[in-house]
Amino acid sequence: MQDYMENFEKMKRLMLGFSAFQTLVAGEKLKLFQLLSDYPGIDRKKVAENLKLSEHAARIMLLATCTYGLTERKDGKYFNTSMADQFLTEKSIFPIANFTKYNDVVQYKAFQYLAESLKADTNVGLQTIPGEGNSLYKRLAQSPELERIFQDAMAPKDRNSRSFYFDAKEFGDVKHLLDVGGGPGLIASLLKKENPQIKITIFDLPTVCERAQATFKEEGFSADLDVHPGDFFTDPFPSGVDAIQFSHLLEIFSEDKIVFLMKKAYDALPKGGKLIVYGMGCDDEESGHNADMAAWGSLYFFLLASGEGMMYPCADYRRWMKEAGFSSVIERRNEFENIFVMATK
Ligand X SMILES: C[S@@+](CC[C@H](N)C(=O)[O-])C[C@H]1O[C@@H](n2cnc3c(N)ncnc32)[C@H](O)[C@@H]1O
Q: Are 193 and 201 in contact (CB under 8 A)?
A: no
Which residues 6+ apart lie within 8 Å of 17 measured at CB? none
Grouping H, G, I as helix, E, B as strand and the rest as coil, residue 132 is coil
Per-position DSSP letters for 245-297, written without gaps between them: EEES-GGGS-HHHHHHHHHHHHHHSPTT-EEEEEEE---TT---TT-HHHHHH
Task: Tell me the closest approach of the beta carbon of residue 181 to ligand X, in angstroms.
Answer: 3
Task: Tell me the closest approach of the beta carbon of residue 330 to ligand X, in angstroms.
Answer: 19
Residue 257 Cα distances to 254, 281, 343, angstroms: 5, 17, 18
Task: Tell me the closest approach of the beta carbon of residue 244 to ligand X, in angstroms.
Answer: 12
Residues that bind ligand X (CB under 6 A): 137, 154, 181-183, 187, 204-205, 208, 231-233, 247-249
Q: Are 29 and 88 in contact (CB under 8 A)?
A: no
For residue 3, how far is the Cα from the chain centroid? 36
**Which residue, 20 or 282, is less far from ligand X as judged by CB?**
282
**Which residue, 34 or 298, is less far from ligand X as judged by CB?**
298
For residue 137, how far is the Cα from the chain centroid? 14
Task: Tell me the closest approach of the beta carbon of residue 177 to ligand X, in angstroms.
Answer: 12
Task: Tell me the closest approach of the beta carbon of residue 208 to ligand X, in angstroms.
Answer: 4
Task: Tell me the closest approach of the beta carbon of residue 89 to ligand X, in angstroms.
Answer: 24
**Which residue, 80 or 123, is less far from ligand X as judged by CB?**
123
**Which residue, 184 or 273, is less far from ligand X as judged by CB?**
184
Task: Tell me the closest approach of the beta carbon of residue 321 to ligand X, in angstroms.
Answer: 18
Give, for 337, the enclosing helix (H) or strand (E): none
**Which residue, 57 or 205, is less far from ligand X as judged by CB?**
205
Q: Are 26 and 108 in contact (CB under 8 A)?
A: no
**Which residue, 233 or 336, is less far from ligand X as judged by CB?**
233
**Which residue, 78 or 300, is less far from ligand X as judged by CB?**
300
The residue number whose beta carbon is nearest to ligand X equals: 181
Q: How far apart are CA 43 and CA 59, in angstroms?
A: 10
Q: How far apart are CA 40 and CA 31, in angstroms?
A: 14
Q: How far apart are CA 306 and CA 294, in angstroms?
A: 16
